Chains A and B, each alone.
Chain A
Amino acid sequence: MNVISGRIPLQYHAPATLKDAVNLLANSKGKTQILAGGTDLLVRMRTGFSEPDNIIDVKHISPMCKISRDGKGFSIGAAVSSAEMSENAALLKAWPGVVEAAALIGSTQVQGRATIAGNLCNASPAADSVPAMVAAGARALIRGPKGKRKVAVEKFCKGPGKTVLKKGELVEAILLPEKPARTGDAYLRFIPRTEMDIAVVGAGVCVTLDSKGVCTAARVSLGAIAPTVLLDARAARTLVGTSLDDPALDALAAACSAAARPIDDKRGTKEFRIHVAGVLARRAAIIARDRALGKS
């Protein structure tokens, strides 16, 4: 008996166009994985956790390796590393919370490869860049056999490891709007160390203020406290109409703790995550407010 001879060896594909990538993806047999930075995929393969039959490397598709801006907003190609995002002055000026979140992933070395599209597609509730993207109102640009579609980032993940992507579909880019006037975003995460760790809790906040400093719009997101990243409208409402003073921030913290429905696990307890969700949201709101006021 020759048990392993039936197994197809791993096929590596490096298409040069999106069209080819979609064709390969739609027509591939067995388990197919997209390779962008590879900081999740390669580690999983190395540990034997993932054994794909096909890998489609998207780093040879030039539009996917670029950050572009068209007047409506930014398009961050799915193969753009978080280090490249940090070096893009316009993006950093507009959405510092998103850029900083991407710069929290792993280590300096990891950030040279890791992408926020990959972070999103990995569909971990603890992904650092996702709450920041959600707070900033980012959308995923999806390309598939039937063309393009855009999905709000908060609706992209259906559960841990599960996304809305259908057979043949991949994320082409992450789209961020132009930043409205007097708007600031921020993301904070809690880890017991300073790097090389995964968020125990994360909180993203984006606020828009009027000329008097009163909040006219807010988005509040929470990570690692539910099966997917939450966009919490109730928490956002605690800020709208306020100048993000202490009572408003206390209400925000309480709302975030109330919205959190985490689990106990090796990274933290339920009660810890509930409490710290509020603490981080409060701290992130202060940073976002100061950014909206042009203080930082």
Chain B
Amino acid sequence: MNFQAGKDTLKRKFDTVGTRTPRPDGLDKVTGRAQFGADLTAPGMLWGMILRSPHAHARIKSIDTSKAEAVNGVHAVVTSRDFGPCPDDVLDIRENVMARGKVLYDGHAVAAVAATSRSAARQALKLIKVDYKVLPHVTDVDEAMKPSAPILNRKLFTKGLDKTPRKPSNIAERFEFGHGDVEAGMKQADLVIERTFKTEATHQGYIEPNACLANMGSDGRADLWCCTQGHFMVRQVCSALLGMDASALRVTASEIGGGFGGKTTVFVEPVALALSLKASRPVKIVMSRSEVLRASGPTSSTSIDVRIGMKKDGTITAGDATLRYQGGAFPGSAVPYGAMAAFACYDLKAVRAVGYDVIANRPKQAAYRAPGAPMAAYAVESVVDELCKELNLDPLDVRLKNASSDGSKASYGPNFDVIGLRATLEAAKAHPHYKARLKPNQGRGVACGFWFNFGGETSVSLNVSADGTIGLSVGTPDIGGSRASIGNMAAEELGVPHDKVRCIIADTASLGYNDVTDGSRVTFASGLAAINAARDAIGKMCERAAGIWGIPVDAVTWEDGAARPSSPNAGNHEPLTLADIAAQAGATGGPISGHCEINAEGAGVSFATHLVDTEVDPDTGYVKILRYTVFQDAGKAIHPSYVEGQFQGGAVQGIGWALNEEYIYGEDGKLQNPGFLDYRIPVASDLPMIDAVIVEVPNPGHPYGVRGVGETSIVPPLAAISNSVSSAAGVRMTQLPMSPPRLLKALGRI
């Protein structure tokens, strides 16, 4: 069944949708019954451990594993030799999960062992002899772009230039977006401000380290249990790397202790499979926190120039940005998204954003919540804030004056559909927070943010049980409450109470393909598919009712959870509830289920406005977050508590990014702070309650108006907090994180 853009239901009244039902995974998670990546064991299981490079950049001259293989309890040792040829699109992943010829960053995997105990595995790792020739390294993005920089990959020639260069460099690709005459626009301005910003790499900081259990038989069939945002992606990548048929590998997604984009790729899974294949035993690998920080996928560190022109009345005449993102040792940073999102909040006649994707001796970056956009918004919203201050204009008024709106041309090309940016700005302006008084050393910051959102390939199966309850199988791991919201949408559509629906994440053998849980797509796309699957099942149940009553199916309608004759002409039949029909399913044609397989389009973009008050201690540079309010367009909040949680979570991760989180590399190219002690994510007592204001401007592309909400919330905080701190400190900050030493220096105290 194809769904027409949901005009039929956008204005409907809901029973379950929009209510705060108890979370379906709550009991399991508070009692410890939930099974996460590291929680599964298998008979005969071995422990896998990985040897990692102590060098930022080195040639591997030789690896001698013979002593490790001789350790009592060791069943297998693998190196890059154990990963054969693979398709081009997974070559970088193959090299990232096991170094080949060269190590490219501190923590790069070099070899792995599987042993009967962790202590035997640890012992064996110490006995693997790797002979390195250490090479010069580079970890800073601006340094990596210099012609004199150490070259990571001699086969890398910058793409996206008019002429492909003859010399290799660390610049993988150039991107450009925009329209209009930027220089002419700048000339129309009364004030042009240009600034350069730098941001450090951060990690998603998911609490659950990456973990998996691989079990490969000698027949070449395997089962893999892992914590991931996309088990179909894991199947695709791992089967390609191991040379297996996709269907020979069944992947089951565990409960997941946070992902935030970081679990949209593989790290230990192919290694566990290779070890299991070699040992003919199940192999479990659990990354330590140090391994997670050194060798999973943090964000890019960035260097960004922004130039914006403004008239005295606040009209922005032109915007121009150059964004340089270091994405680790392989191409593919999120710089194109950053360049596209940089000016998306503004309806501009002249705009240009140029992005450079740069490689450096750091772990390959992975997605992190609106990948690439927070840094771009930080730079642009900081300059807009400075322009407002210089021209003595209200920052919300200026944004309202220039805000993108329905139909306006986006800075990255297309025209916007119905969007809610203006509504979030108006909500912020009307909120008591915006009028609250500030004391000395306190400041208020405002910033907006945008994220595209995504739909994608989605498959859902809905099974009606004989007792009238519903089993709903989706293929998108639940990283933010999607089982509740998808289940509630199915319940709404079927007309049954929410607790009659149990939504589970089915394994890769039990359901059609699903794209990864990313792009804030799941409540939108799996929700849309669940609604369609429910309608499919409703159609079948109407057929059964028609059969029971002996009337044509088009004379049956579905209302309030029951089949009813559509008019008195159809006969005087008592309604048949879902449970009534389910009970007779065997006698009326067999099991009833509904399906939907779709490539969902129409994911509505989402905007947010954040307000934050901070206080700066001028003697120590300590920043306290006093008050924080998020205004974001959710389209339609299916489960408001989870929506608020997404708003709050993005703000909190942004607070960490803005104030203290950073990858600190030493002169030796080694990560100095691979642990939660010195990689400083905020703790609960650092934070005020984050107020979440849900704005609802329905997305015309979804039957209930849903827009993804997971990512937009992390786009404004870096800028909002920097604007707030700059105001409190009386000095414009242009580098993140604004750690106390950096802030105290900016204040001229040291």
Residue ranges of A at the interface with B (Cβ–Cβ < 8 Å): 1-5, 7, 47-48, 190, 192-198, 200, 265-269, 271-272, 274-276, 279-280
CB distance B741 to A193 under 8 Å?
A: no
For residue B741, give the distance in angstroms from its CB to the closest CB of chain A: 4
Interface window among B236-244, B586-594, B680-688, B708-716: B680-688
Q: Is the CB of A193 within 8 A of B682?
A: yes
What 8 A-B pairs come out closest when comparing CB atoms? A272-B741, A194-B685, A266-B672, A271-B750, A1-B70, A269-B741, A279-B619, A266-B673
CA–CA, A55 to B71, complex, Å? 26
Q: Indicate if the CB atoms of B683 and A195 lie closer than 8 Å.
A: yes
B622 within 8 A of partner (CB): yes
Chain B positions within 8 Å of A, measured between CB atoms, are 67, 70-73, 119-120, 122-123, 127, 288, 290, 619-622, 659-660, 664, 672-673, 676-678, 680, 682-683, 685-686, 739-741, 744-745, 749-750
Beta-carbon nearest neighbor of B117 in chain A:
A4
Q: Are B120 and A193 in contact (CB under 8 A)?
A: no
Contact A194–B683 (Cβ < 8 Å): yes
Question: Known: A190-B740, A193-B660, A271-B750. Contact between A2 and B680, CB under 8 A?
Answer: no
Please, could you name 30 A-B residue pairs with CB atoms under 8 Å apart, sorted by A?
Answer: A1-B70, A3-B67, A3-B72, A3-B123, A3-B127, A4-B71, A4-B72, A4-B73, A4-B119, A7-B123, A48-B122, A190-B622, A190-B740, A192-B622, A192-B659, A192-B739, A193-B680, A195-B685, A196-B683, A200-B740, A266-B664, A266-B673, A267-B678, A268-B740, A271-B750, A272-B621, A275-B749, A275-B750, A276-B744, A279-B620
Q: Closest CB of chain A to B248's CB: distance in Å?
A: 35
Cα A84 to Cα B123 in complex, Å, equals 39
A267 CB contacts on chain B under 8 angstroms: 678
Residues of B within 8 A of A193 (CB): 660, 680, 682-683, 685-686
The closest CB in chain B to the CB of A264 belongs to: B741
Q: Which residues of A contact B745 (CB under 8 A)?
A: 271-272
Q: Which residue of A lies closest to B740 (CB)?
A: A192
The docked-state distance in angstroms from the alpha carbon of A4 to that of B119 is: 9
Question: Is chain B's binding surface mostly helix, strand, loop or mixed?
Answer: loop
Within the complex, what minimum Cβ distance (angstroms) separates A273 from chain B? 9
Question: In the docked arrangement, what's the CA distance between A48 and B51, Å?
Answer: 13
Do A272 and B750 form a contact, CB below 8 Å, given A4-B72, A197-B677, A266-B664? yes
In the assembled complex, the Cα of A241 lies from the Cα of B741 at a distance in Å of 34
Bound: A15/B71 CA distance, A: 35
Taking each of A3, A48, A269, which has the highest tally of chain B beta carbons within 10 Å of its own beta carbon? A3
The reply to whether A276 and B660 form a contact with Cβ atoms under 8 Å apart is no
Residues from chain B with Cβ under 8 Å of A280 in the complex: 620
Q: How far is the CA of A265 from the CA of B683 in the complex (A)?
A: 22
By beta carbon, the residue of chain B nearest A106 is B677
Chain B's nearest CB lies how many Å from the CB of A69? 33
Given pairs A193-B685, A267-B678, A275-B750, 20 additional interface contacts (CB within 8 A):
A3-B71, A3-B72, A5-B72, A7-B123, A190-B622, A192-B659, A192-B680, A192-B739, A196-B683, A197-B677, A200-B740, A266-B672, A268-B740, A268-B741, A269-B741, A271-B750, A272-B745, A275-B744, A276-B740, A279-B620
B270 CB to closest chain A CB, in angstroms? 24
Closest to A272 in B: B741
Contacts A47-B288, A192-B659, A279-B620 given; does A197 touch B750 at CB 8 Å: no
A198–B677 touching, CB < 8 Å: yes
Instruction: Give the residues in chain A near B676, CB-CB below 8 Å.
Output: 196
Q: Which residue of B lies closest to A283 (CB)?
A: B619
Query: Measured between alpha carbons, how far is A274 from B749 in the docked complex, in Å?
Result: 11
Complex-state Cα separation, A275 to B741, whole angstroms: 10
Contacts of A192 in B (CB 8 A): 622, 659-660, 680, 739-740
Q: A197 contacts B122, CB within 8 Å? A: no
A269: nearest residue on chain B (CB-CB)?
B741
User: B750: which A residues are within 8 A, CB to CB?
Assistant: 269, 271-272, 274-275
Chain B residues with CB under 8 Å of A269's CB are 741, 750
User: Is the pair A4, B622 in contact by a Cβ cutoff of 8 Å?
Assistant: no
Q: How far is the CA of A45 from the CA of B750 in the complex (A)?
A: 39
B203 to chain A, nearest CB (A): 15
Q: Chain A residues near B288: list those with CB within 8 A.
A: 47
Cβ 8 A contact of A194, one of B70, B72, B686, B740: B686
A242 to chain B, nearest CB (A): 21
Return chain B residues, CB-CB under 8 Å to A196.
676-677, 683
Which A residues touch B290, using CB under 8 A?
47
Which residues of B lie under 8 Å from residue A276 when comparing CB positions?
Answer: 619-620, 740, 744
Give Cα A61–Cα B750 distance, bound, in whole angstroms: 50
- Taking a contact as CB atoms closer than 8 A, the residue among A4, A47, A194, A274 that contacts B120 in the complex is A4
Shortest distance from the beta carbon of A163 to any chain B beta carbon, whole Å: 22
